[in-house]
């Protein structure tokens, strides 16, 4: 820790300037840093530890659904990217191109993958011959490059990390079942691990993945009232199997094109963790995903090194044995007060203070990051009480986010009210929509809101007319301004 | 499984054509596949599962030594790469260059990282201010691109996966301790997990990493007598800290350049697993790293579905509970004979056959992949006996590789004998060397052998004169033809 870091780090209150608050937290909590290359970030060890926890927990779920991991090339020849017309149209503006290899100009330029459908397609075409080869259930953990104009750490960067699933099935029904099963898994993952409630539904044609038949997504509400797409699951139909000639012989010896899906979740989820749970003091990490769940801070006073320190060490050891990710900070060059605000800022769910009087009383003081409440806990009970406290904190963060989501989801029929809600309080606005892309465009231009998602129950003719054009509404859409 | 895969896969014997044997195993065991992009491979699920096991076990060791993971950008501006003169000279011929982003020509072209020293340097320069910030112990798991002319799956590909450690220290001594501690860790990892004995020592200036002060490496001997570099650990001295201005204020308030190390291990290790342990029937995976450790094959006969199958399922369940990675193959469309050779080819360490008579006798037949020996084991004892058998197999593979290494390491004084050994039996040839790069070059041109490593005990004046020029020898060097 350097001299300037030993000062308490001041953060702009999030109510004052949300965007600045976000940027300061990212840097001061050392989650990520800007690099000299525009739009590219470094994920620093504290931020990467969050990603490792996300990876581990998501990977376990992906494998439990029968998928296996593989690794496909970083580069995609331009001619491959062009095989699916909508796909290249959607991604070409965002591609970084390799044109020189070693000392030589390449005959065909290579895209640095903006997504991998077009490099996986030719391999699936080679590997899949018979119905016996199906389903193919492959996932990949990889880096992705998209040449973005406006960037923000974790939320939108030129390079990001993700997992991308790519599956092939014998029937349209199986592909749809897969698409929805992944959507459900993503929702459960966000709610259980990240303590972030999400809405799961489908996108409009305007918002779907370039080349997909139907895109499903999970959307969350950030605490500034803007929506964030947390993950997408695409039913690709036969778009790519036709473009890349991925065929199988079915049980009656007929050649058929396979039905495909693809789906992904990215390092963007770390941005959501910051924006959903953070407060004016900094991060508030849900215990299940927090790199450090508990920090123990001995209070130095008198003969603390022979009394307090051994008690703190014993507490750390007993928590470690109970499976808790614990850190003991016994450094003398920083004061307890500095440490309190530092670890609050870093979002560690639970702080345990142990001073000379606590040791005499055989107790420790537990301070919750979520509610900032204090309670004395007998030292002997820590290994049982702390895991229970962590579960409570996880539940409180999820409940708070759920309450916020509910309070900021409004059903609105009239366009005037729609506009004023978006101006004053943002959030999700659920309104009747005619199904037309023209209305979507007009609403976006006039209010900066897009259709984030249409929930399963909302996909039918509505009582009121379309918010924008007055024609009969075919669905109730969740609109929001979004990241 | 498709129709053509249901035939037993024939492999060229390795004694007949080692290179072809290698290529066939890679493809037929579905470890990797060629792609339409020259020099780029797909790591298929079975190969990637090996990499996941390597990653998990190596990552655990890296963290146990106090390192944390992070993620740095894929792209490096050309001007950064040029800051360390030797570094750019070594890597520039191998770089893939991004020159277009989206629709625009870039003002400065970007290297797709061939290694990350030059993108990490500027960040360390920003982060490190004081002796309190040291040591910095960061590792990264990433993809790397080097524009190679001659490629071979796993051994040398345009893109590969690796981990790269990058550390900063306050003193030269600490950097040297770190470099050697990683070298020791790599050696222990290869021997314990991969069952591959390695030689650990330092490289000559000619063979060192471009920009390093000293490169240490572990080298293994493949079963065709050629050497393979399995991992490297570089003491970078102050080469990069001077180039990138990475300074800290020491305890007496003096500004000093940090001392750095970097070190890496790659997907190449999978190539070594194939070439060290494989035989004419295919792969032989060491149990600790094998994706599947045990395959259970029920022998279908008579009422096998009500007798044999439940016994096989119970055996699988009891092994799974004992922590064994087990697969049960009860498919009826493939014969037991086909399965035997398929799983031999895939290198699964232990096969368990259970037939009607076995069930009557309350036993199973265990067939070891290493020695191809059979033994009957009571069904009730499987959960205890199988883990012990796997340990034995791991030990046998390590012993066999060690015996081969010893038998194929020869101390030779005369250049004629040196040449004839390299022609007839290859292996490591340990010979006196004057320390001159000219002799190294001459020997390489004439024999295709390079100095792979100089072991700690061999780095002193030798009895005989230099193999090549006859001048006094300053070391005994391990020469070999290498991948």
The domains of chain A, with CATH numbers, are 3-277 (3.30.930.10), 294-389 (3.40.50.800), 409-480 (3.30.110.30)
Looking at the partner chain, which of B52, B71, B98 has a beta carbon nearest the beta carbon of A98? B98
Taking CA–CA distances from A129, the nearest residue in chain B reads B2
Q: How far is B343 from chain A (nearest CA, A)?
A: 18
Q: What pLDDT is attached to residue A9?
A: 64
Burial environment of residue A372 by CB neighbours within 10 A (0 to 12, 13 to 18, 19 or more): exposed
For the question of whether the overall pTM of this predicted structure is more than 0.90, the answer is yes
- Extract the tokens encoding B215: 């490169």
Q: How far is B109 from chain A (nearest CA, A)?
A: 10
Residue of B101, B253, B270 best to disrupt the A interface, most CBs of A under 10 A? B101
Nearest-angstrom CA–CA distance, A14 and A279: 7
Looking at the partner chain, which of B70, B98, B129 has a beta carbon nearest the beta carbon of A44? B70
Backbone φ and ψ for B140, nearest 5 degrees, come out as -140, 135
- Asked if A4's CB is within 8 angstroms of B74's CB, the reply is no
Map chain B to HEC letters: CCHHHHCCCCCCCCCCCHHHHHHHHHHHCCCEEECCCCCCEEECHHHHHHHHHHHHHHHHHHHHCCCEECECCCEEEHHHHCCCHHHHHHHHHHCEEEEEECCEEEEEEEEECCCCHHHHHHHHHHHCCEHHHCCEEEEEEEEEECCCCCCECCCECCEEEEEEEEEEECCHHHHHHHHHHHHHHHHHHHHHHCCCCCEEEECCHHHCCCCCCEEEEEEEECCCCCEEEEEEEEEEECHHHHHHCCEEECCCCCEEECEEEEEEEECHHHHHHHHHHCECCECCCCCCCCCCCEEEEECCCCCCCCCHHHHHHHHHHHHHHCCCCEEECCCCCCCHHHHHHHHHHCCCCEEEEECHHHHHCCEEEEEECCCCCEEEEEHHHHHHHHHHHHHHHHHHHHHHHHHHHHHCEEECCCHHHHHHHHHHCCCEEEEEECCCHHHHHHHHHHHCCEEEEECHHHCCCCCCECCCCCCECCEEEEEECEC
> What is the tens place of the pLDDT at every residue in B164-203?
999 999 999 999 999 999 999 999 999 999 999 999 999 9
Please answer whether residues A352 and A365 qualify as being in contact, where contact means their C-beta atoms are separated by less than 8 angstroms.
yes
> Tell me, what's the ipTM?
0.96
Residue of B45, B137, B166 best to disrupt the A interface, most CBs of A under 10 A? B45
The pLDDT confidence band at residue B101, using thresholds 50, 70 and 90, is very high
Looking at the partner chain, which of A35, A71, A132 has a beta carbon nearest the beta carbon of B1? A132
Cis status, amide bond into B15, omega within 30 of 0: no
- Asked if B52's CB is within 8 angstroms of A69's CB, the reply is yes
Handedness of CA A10, A16, A20, A23 (dihedral sign): positive
Q: What pLDDT is attached to residue B1?
A: 41
- Asked if A48's CB is within 8 angstroms of B69's CB, the reply is yes
Taking CA–CA distances from A67, the nearest residue in chain B reads B45
Q: What pLDDT is attached to residue A3?
A: 40
Which residues in chain A are contacts of B251 at CB distance < 8 A? none
> What is the tens place of the pLDDT at every residue in B298-337?
999 999 999 999 999 999 999 999 999 999 999 998 999 9
Which residues in chain B are contacts of A159 at CB distance < 8 A? 73-75
> What is the tens place of the pLDDT at every residue in B453-482?
999 999 999 989 999 999 999 999 999 999
Average pLDDT over residues A412-434: 96
- Asked if A145's CB is within 8 angstroms of B36's CB, the reply is no
Which residues in chain A are contacts of B161 at CB distance < 8 A? 71
Average pLDDT over residues A431-451: 97
Q: How far is A52 from chain B (nearest CA, A)?
A: 9
Q: What pLDDT is attached to residue B410?
A: 97
Taking CA–CA distances from A90, the nearest residue in chain B reads B102
Taking CA–CA distances from A96, the nearest residue in chain B reads B101
Which residues in chain A are contacts of B126 at CB distance < 8 A? 33
Nearest-angstrom CA–CA distance, B292 and B66: 31
Average pLDDT over residues A424-439: 96
Looking at the partner chain, which of B69, B138, B142 has a beta carbon nearest the beta carbon of A52? B69
- Asked if B122's CB is within 8 angstroms of A71's CB, the reply is no
The pLDDT confidence band at residue B2, using thresholds 50, 70 and 90, is very low
> What is the tens place of the pLDDT at every residue in A299-330?
999 999 999 999 999 999 999 999 999 999 99
Residue of A41, A73, A80, A121 best to disrupt the B interface, most CBs of B under 10 A? A73
Residue of A5, A40, A70 best to disrupt the B interface, most CBs of B under 10 A? A70
Beta bridge partners of B167: B137, B261
Taking CA–CA distances from A131, the nearest residue in chain B reads B2
DSSP reduced 3-state for A99: strand
> What is the tens place of the pLDDT at every residue in A240-296?
999 999 999 999 999 999 999 999 999 999 999 999 999 999 999 999 999 999 999
A-B CB pairs within 8 A amount to 164
**Strand arrangement, sheet containing A96-101:** A75-77, A104-112, A96-101, B96-101, B104-112, B75-77
> What is the tens place of the pLDDT at every residue in B55-99?
999 999 999 999 999 999 999 999 999 999 888 999 989 999 999
The pLDDT confidence band at residue B43, using thresholds 50, 70 and 90, is very high
Please answer whether residues A450 and A441 qualify as being in contact, where contact means their C-beta atoms are separated by less than 8 angstroms.
no
- Asked if B48's CB is within 8 angstroms of A69's CB, the reply is yes
Q: Mark residue A310 as left, alpha or beta (left: phi above 0; alpha: psi -120 to 50; beta: remaining).
A: alpha
- Asked if A94's CB is within 8 angstroms of B98's CB, the reply is no
Which residues in chain B are contacts of A68 at CB distance < 8 A? 45, 48-49
Nearest-angstrom CA–CA distance, A164 and A169: 17
- Contacts for B17 with CB less than 8 Å, ≥ 6 apart: none
């Amino acid at each position: 820790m350097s001299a300037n870091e030993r000062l308490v780090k001041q953060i702009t209150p999030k109510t004052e300037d949300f965007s600045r608050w976000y940027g300061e937290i990212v840097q001061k909590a050392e989650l990520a840093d800007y690099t000299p290359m525009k739009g590219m970030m470094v994920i620093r060890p504290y931020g990467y530890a969050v990603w490792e926890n996300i990876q581990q927990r998501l990977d376990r779920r992906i494998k439990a659904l029968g998928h296996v991991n593989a690794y496909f090339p970083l580069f995609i020849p331009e001619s491959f990217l062009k095989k699916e017309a909508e796909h290249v149209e959607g991604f070409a503006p965002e591609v970084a191109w390799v044109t020189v290899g070693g000392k030589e100009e390449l005959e065909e330029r290579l895209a640095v993958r903006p997504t991998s459908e077009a490099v996986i397609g030719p391999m699936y075409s080679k590997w899949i011959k018979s119905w016996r080869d199906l389903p193919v259930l492959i996932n990949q953990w990889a880096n992705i490059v998209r040449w973005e104009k406006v960037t923000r750490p974790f939320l939108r960067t030129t390079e990001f990390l993700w997992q991308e699933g790519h599956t092939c099935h014998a029937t349209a029904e199986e592909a749809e079942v897969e698409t929805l099963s992944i959507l459900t898994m993503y929702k459960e993952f966000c709610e259980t691990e990240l303590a972030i409630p999400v809405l799961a539904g489908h996108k409009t044609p305007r918002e779907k993945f370039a080349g997909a038949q139907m895109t499903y997504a999970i959307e969350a509400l950030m605490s500034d009232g803007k929506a964030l797409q947390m993950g997408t699951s695409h039913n690709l139909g036969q778009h790519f199997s036709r473009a890349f000639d991925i065929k199988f012989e079915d049980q009656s010896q007929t050649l058929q094109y396979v039905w495909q899906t693809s789906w992904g979740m990215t390092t963007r989820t770390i941005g959501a963790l910051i924006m959903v749970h953070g407060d004016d003091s900094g991060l508030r990490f849900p215990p299940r995903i927090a790199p450090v769940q508990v920090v123990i801070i001995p209070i130095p006073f008198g003969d603390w090194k022979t009394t307090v320190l051994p008690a703190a060490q014993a507490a750390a050891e007993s928590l470690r044995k109970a499976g808790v990710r614990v850190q003991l900070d016994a450094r003398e060059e920083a004061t307890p007060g500095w440490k309190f605000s530092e670890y609050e800022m870093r979002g560690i769910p639970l702080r345990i203070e142990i001073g000379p009087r606590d040791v005499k009383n055989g107790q420790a003081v537990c301070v919750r990051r979520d509610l900032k409440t204090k309670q004395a806990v007998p030292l002997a009970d820590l290994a049982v009480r702390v895991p229970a406290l962590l579960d409570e904190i996880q539940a409180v963060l999820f409940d708070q986010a759920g309450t916020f989501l509910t309070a900021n989801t409004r059903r609105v029929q009239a366009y005037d009210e729609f506009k004023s809600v978006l101006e004053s309080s943002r959030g999700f606005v659920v309104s009747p929509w005619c199904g037309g892309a023209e209305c979507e465009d007009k609403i976006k231009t006039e209010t900066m809101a897009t259709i984030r998602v249409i929930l399963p129950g909302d996909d039918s003719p509505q009582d009121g007319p379309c918010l924008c054009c007055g024609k009969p509404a075919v669905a109730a859409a969740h609109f929001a301004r979004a990241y």
